[in-house]
């Protein structure tokens, strides 16, 4: 009787393991690519809506970039475009980093850390996304090269940043999103962008951090030169 019970239990455990493996495989090879396509479509639609709203206008270039106040939770902050991640790659950035509402969303995928700078603001515009699963938004962060473009689009225009360097930290290291990264008591003077994600893929042992520095602001719908 005991042997029979142990055999049944063993079979149940094997079956459970196969189900879990199947779900993980489905998410990695089917679900995530579908989410990625949906996230790109949503970002493209948002960009078109902003372009239509400013069609036919040529706003003057301000002395300083336009910086908006933080919106309500889950509201759209921006669209981020990173050419290094592939043609057509773009994602909506929403306010907050809640997984269910934002990072796992089929129409967003990237979240803005509340309390960090907004696009173009002095300090650190810090954002987060998954490296694997739910659209794999930041899976290719490790492929960035020095001076790669990190473009942020809002209703006001285009904010151009360029990638500067990487850092790998423990999940508890929150200093990377400080106004001056790793120097929480320092007074910021630069405009930075920070991309955060898990590393390595399919694991969350560390956080991969990509820093960029602000280059310019271009008001209106026309993208910076060389960007389609």
Q: What is the pLDDT of residues 42-87, one digit of tens each?
A: 999 999 999 999 887 888 999 999 999 999 999 999 999 999 999 9
Q: How far apart are CA 111 and CA 75, in angstroms?
A: 10
Total tally of structural domains belonging to the chain: 1
Instruction: Measure CA 106 to chain center.
Output: 13
10 occurs within a structural domain: no
9 occurs within a structural domain: no
183 occurs within a structural domain: yes
Contact predicate 109/135, CB 8 Å: yes
CATH for 69:
2.40.260.10
- pLDDT mean over 33-38: 95
13: pLDDT strictly greater than 70: no
Predicted pLDDT at 203: 76
> Residues 53-56: contacts with CB within 8 Å, 24+ apart?
53/155, 54/155, 54/220, 54/221, 55/221
- pLDDT mean over 130-147: 96
Angstrom CA distances, 149 to 44, 137, 159, 160, 215, stand at 18, 16, 10, 7, 10
What are the structure tokens assigned to 82, written together? 């990173």
181: pLDDT strictly greater than 90: yes
16: pLDDT strictly greater than 70: no
Query: Quick one: pLDDT band at residue 4, thresholds 50, 70, 90?
Result: low
Name the one residue in this structure whose structure tokens are 């151009």: 160
- pLDDT mean over 167-196: 97
19: pLDDT strictly greater than 60: no
Burial 25-55 (b: 16+ CB within 10 A, else e): eebeeebbeebbebbbebbeebbeebeeebe
Tell me what percent of the residues of the chain surpass a pLDDT of 70.
Answer: 86
124 occurs within a structural domain: yes
185: pLDDT strictly greater than 70: yes
213 occurs within a structural domain: yes
Q: How far apart are CA 203 and CA 207, in angstroms?
A: 10
Name the one residue in this structure whose structure tokens are 């030169």: 225
What are the structure tokens assigned to 131, written together? 């490296």
Q: Name the least confident of 13-22, 149-158, 206-215.
A: 13-22
4 occurs within a structural domain: no
157 occurs within a structural domain: yes
32 occurs within a structural domain: no
Q: Which residue has the higher pLDDT, 7 or 189?
A: 189
State the pTM of this model. Answer: 0.86
Q: Name the least confident of 8-17, 28-37, 123-132, 188-197.
A: 8-17
Range of the domain at 91: 39-219
**Residue ranges in the chain assigned as alpha helix (H):** 2-26, 32-53
* Phi/psi of residue 85, nearest 5 degrees: -80, 0
Q: How many H helices and E strands in the chain?
A: 2, 8
Q: How far apart are CA 126 and CA 116, in angstroms?
A: 6
Residue 93, SS3? strand
């Amino acid at each position: 009787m005991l042997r029979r019970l142990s055999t049944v239990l063993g079979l149940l455990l094997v079956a459970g393991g196969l189900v879990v493996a199947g779900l993980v495989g489905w998410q990695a090879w089917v679900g995530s690519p579908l989410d990625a396509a949906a996230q790109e479509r949503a970002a493209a639609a948002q960009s078109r809506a902003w372009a239509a709203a400013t069609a036919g206008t040529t706003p003057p270039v301000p002395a300083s970039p336009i910086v908006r106040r933080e919106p309500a939770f889950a509201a759209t902050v921006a669209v981020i475009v990173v050419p290094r991640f592939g043609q057509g790659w773009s994602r909506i950035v929403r306010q907050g980093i809640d997984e269910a509402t934002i990072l796992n969303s089929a129409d967003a995928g990237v979240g803005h850390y509340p309390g960090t700078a907004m696009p173009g603001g002095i300090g650190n515009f810090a954002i987060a996304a998954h490296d694997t699963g739910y659209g794999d938004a930041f899976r290719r962060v490790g492929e960035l090269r020095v001076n790669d473009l990190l473009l942020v689009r809002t209703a006001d225009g285009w904010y151009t940043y360029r990638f500067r360097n990487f850092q790998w930290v423990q999940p508890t290291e929150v200093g990377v999103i400080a106004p001056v990264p790793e120097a929480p008591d320092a007074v910021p003077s630069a405009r930075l962008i920070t991309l955060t994600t898990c590393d390595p893929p399919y694991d969350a042992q560390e956080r991969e951090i990509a820093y960029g520095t602000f280059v310019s602001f271009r008001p209106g719908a026309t993208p910076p030169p060389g960007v389609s």
